[in-house]
């Protein structure tokens, strides 16, 4: 049994593990298959609606491909366990929903601080608190950005279909490995439970593994290996537990050797600036969005996840009525596509989302003017007609 897929710098696609073909599959199941295709061989989680199907499929599938499913005592332990597994070299994932996501926040900070690649899936439901466990919400979009304490940079994807649950879960693993950081898949109940066509073609899958140290442990005496000394891309190569590098990894502020420097503000400045910049300086290669009929648009819809499907329908209905409507679908809500959104400031903007207006605030920050909003507080998706009514009101 070998879970340590990240031992080599070159990532191999394990074709026999991938469920190739065309399937009629739920978003949650597609997410689990995406993880397995990405090389995930360790899953730790705790049952929670509406993400439990991911855990169930991982429990069934991982042993088939030589991986481990571990059902932990809570989401705090789940997050800690995937960081531990990733430090040993596994590609590791957990999935949850609102209450569990809240419990994971402290260790999400640990993953960022220790630069440990891992993937966290949040199939959002209505909140706050226990809220509406079986029904849709999109109200954790700010929590994923700011939920843990301290400053950090986030990469998050918002899939809008089961196919994207598959594709973006693979991408989340690749980005986690590339940047040595936790990456989030911010799905929602509707996409998680929706059944749709999912095409899985192993030939089209490309994988990334984390960078490995440039010196061998034996050579480390001559050229000291410092586990947090970055390359030019600001990402340090990652040594795994048990390789002989004698690394120290801590959640305390630390220098390039990994040694605590919890009373040295200049080390904090250097360490944290690098950790933020390794992601934010390269946000143009991370940011993804879909543009629809923006060329002549006087009104622009901005939406993500399942709500983007309703927005697309509203766009079609509005175009039939001769209204010049376009749409920007956020695929990475974080890093936020700031430049693209700023370009849209001449248009009237409508942000539709199943929360009280979370991403709308971020949009307003970049277009520097108030935007129109279509919101629902959870429990029911936004209907295309509601968005259409807003379009007609604005037009």
Partner 1 sequence: MALELRGAPREREVIVEHHPEDELLREDRIPHIWCPGCGIGVAVTAYIEAMKLAMDKIPLEKQVVVSGIGCTGRVAGYVSIDSYHTTHGRAIPFATGLKVANPELEITVFSGDGDLFAIGGNHFIHAARRNVDINVICCNNFNYGMTGGQVGPTTPEMAITTTSPYGNMEDGFNLPYLAAAAGAVFVARWTTLHFRKLRDAILHAFSKRGFTFIEIIAPCPTSFGRPNELGQGLDEMEWYRESCVIDHRANLKEIGLSMKKDSKIVVGNFLDIERPTFMDRYQEIIKRAKGQSSGGR
Which one of residues 48, 95, 249, 359 is an interface residue with partner 1 (CB under 8 A)? Answer: 249
Structure-block tokens of residue 286: 């991370």
Q: How far apart are CA 302 and CA 350, in angstroms?
A: 6
Under the binding rule (CB under 8 A), the answer on residue 195 touching partner 1 is no
- Asked whether the beta carbons of 37 and 17 are under 8 A apart, the reply is yes
Shortest distance, CB of residue 38 to partner 1, whole angstroms?
Answer: 16
| Contacting partner 1 within 76-115 (CB under 8 A) | 76-78, 80-90, 92, 106-107, 109-110
Under the binding rule (CB under 8 A), the answer on residue 191 touching partner 1 is no
SS3 372: strand
Q: Residue 196 or residue 364: which is nearer to partner 1 going by CB?
A: 196
Q: Residue 19 or residue 360: which is nearer to partner 1 going by CB?
A: 19
Q: CA 211, 332, 287: angle at the middle one, nearest 5?
A: 65
Q: Which residues contact 243 (CB under 8 A, 6 or more apart)?
A: 217
SS3 27: helix
- Asked whether the beta carbons of 3 and 242 are under 8 A apart, the reply is no
Which one of residues 217, 343, 348, 395 is an interface residue with partner 1 (CB under 8 A)? Answer: 217
Choose the stretch contacting partner 1; rule: CB under 8 A; options: 54-62, 163-171, 278-286, 318-326: 54-62
Question: Counting beta carbons within 10 angstroms of the beta carbon of residue 206, is it exposed (0 to 12), middle (13 to 18) or buried (19 or more)?
Answer: exposed
Under the binding rule (CB under 8 A), the answer on residue 373 touching partner 1 is no
Which one of residues 30, 48, 61, 162 is an interface residue with partner 1 (CB under 8 A)? Answer: 61
Under the binding rule (CB under 8 A), the answer on residue 35 touching partner 1 is no
Q: How far apart are CA 101 and CA 215, in angstroms?
A: 38
Number of residues engaging partner 1 in binding (CB under 8 A): 55
Q: How far apart are CA 221 and CA 334, in angstroms?
A: 41
Q: How far apart are CA 177 and CA 209, in angstroms?
A: 5
Shortest distance, CB of residue 33 to partner 1, whole angstroms?
Answer: 8
Binding letters toward partner 1, positions 108-147, x by CB under 8 A: -xx-------------------------------------
Which one of residues 66, 128, 150, 370 is an interface residue with partner 1 (CB under 8 A)? Answer: 66
SS3 393: helix
Choose the stretch contacting partner 1; rule: CB under 8 A; options: 70-78, 159-167, 179-187, 337-345: 70-78
Structure-block tokens of residue 354: 């199943």
Under the binding rule (CB under 8 A), the answer on residue 74 touching partner 1 is yes
Structure-block tokens of residue 179: 């940047």
Q: Residue 86 or residue 287: which is nearer to partner 1 going by CB?
A: 86
CA neighbor of 189 nearest in space, from 318, 333, 341, 26? 26
Under the binding rule (CB under 8 A), the answer on residue 210 touching partner 1 is no
Shortest distance, CB of residue 95 to partner 1, whole angstroms?
Answer: 15
| Contacting partner 1 within 325-364 (CB under 8 A) | none
Choose the stretch contacting partner 1; rule: CB under 8 A; options: 131-139, 248-256, 307-315, 367-375: 248-256
Shortest distance, CB of residue 8 to partner 1, whole angstroms?
Answer: 15
Q: Residue 88 or residue 272: which is nearer to partner 1 going by CB?
A: 88
- Asked whether the beta carbons of 98 and 131 are under 8 A apart, the reply is yes
Shortest distance, CB of residue 1 to partner 1, whole angstroms?
Answer: 7
Q: How far apart are CA 4 and CA 20, in angstroms?
A: 23
Q: Residue 253 or residue 375: which is nearer to partner 1 going by CB?
A: 253
Choose the stretch contacting partner 1; rule: CB under 8 A; options: 58-66, 151-159, 272-280, 337-345: 58-66
Shortest distance, CB of residue 61 to partner 1, whole angstroms?
Answer: 7
Reported for 77-81, long-range contacts at CB under 8 A and 24+ positions apart, including other chains, are: 77/44, 77/46, 78/44, 78/45, 78/46, 78/104, 79/44, 79/103, 79/104, 79/107, 79/108, 79/111, 79/120, 80/107, 80/110, 81/42, 81/44
Binding residues vs partner 1 (CB under 8 A): 1, 3-4, 16, 19, 23, 33, 42, 44, 57, 60-61, 63-64, 66, 68, 70, 72-74, 76-78, 80-90, 92, 106-107, 109-110, 217, 240-252, 259-260
């Amino acid at each position: 049994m070998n879970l340590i897929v990240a031992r080599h710098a070159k990532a191999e696609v394990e074709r026999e593990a991938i469920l190739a073909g065309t399937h009629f599959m739920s978003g949650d199941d597609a997410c689990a298959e995406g993880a397995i295709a990405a090389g995930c061989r360790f899953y730790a989680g705790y049952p929670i609606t509406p993400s439990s199907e991911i855990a169930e499929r991982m429990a069934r599938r991982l042993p088939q491909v030589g991986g481990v499913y571990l059902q932990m005592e809570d989401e705090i332990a789940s997050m800690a366990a995937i960081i531990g597994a990733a430090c040993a070299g596994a590609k590791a994932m957990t999935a949850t929903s609102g209450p569990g996501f809240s419990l994971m926040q402290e260790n999400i900070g640990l993953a960022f601080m220790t630069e440990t690649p891992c993937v966290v899936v949040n199939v959002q439901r209505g909140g706050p608190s226990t809220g509406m466990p079986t029904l849709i919400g999109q109200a954790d979009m700010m929590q994923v950005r700011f939920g843990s304490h301290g400053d950090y940079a986030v990469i998050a994807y918002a899939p809008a279909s089961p196919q994207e649950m598959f594709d973006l879960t693979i991408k989340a693993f690749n980005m986690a490995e590339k940047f040595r950081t936790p990456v989030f898949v911010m799905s929602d109940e509707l996409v998680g439970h929706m059944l749709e066509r999912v095409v899985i073609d192993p030939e089209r899958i490309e994988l990334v593994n984390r960078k490995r140290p440039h010196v061998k442990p034996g050579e480390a005496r001559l050229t000291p290996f410092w586990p947090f000394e970055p390359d030019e891309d600001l990402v340090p190569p990652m040594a795994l537990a048990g390789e002989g590098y004698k690394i120290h990894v801590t959640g305390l502020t630390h220098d390039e050797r990994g040694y605590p420097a919890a009373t040295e503000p200049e080390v904090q400045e250097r360490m944290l600036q690098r950790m933020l910049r390794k992601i934010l300086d390269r946000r143009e290669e991370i940011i993804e969005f879909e543009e629809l009929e923006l060329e002549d648009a006087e009104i622009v819809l901005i939406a993500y996840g399942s709500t983007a499907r309703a927005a697309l329908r509203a766009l079609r209905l509005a175009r039939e009525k001769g209204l010049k409507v376009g749409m920007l679908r956020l695929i990475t809500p974080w890093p936020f596509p700031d430049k693209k959104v700023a370009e849209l400031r001449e248009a009237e903007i409508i942000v539709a989302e199943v929360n009280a207006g979370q991403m709308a605030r971020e949009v307003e920050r970049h277009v520097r003017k108030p935007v129109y909003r279509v919101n629902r507080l959870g429990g029911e998706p936004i209907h295309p007609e509601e968005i259409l009514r807003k379009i007609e009101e604005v037009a």
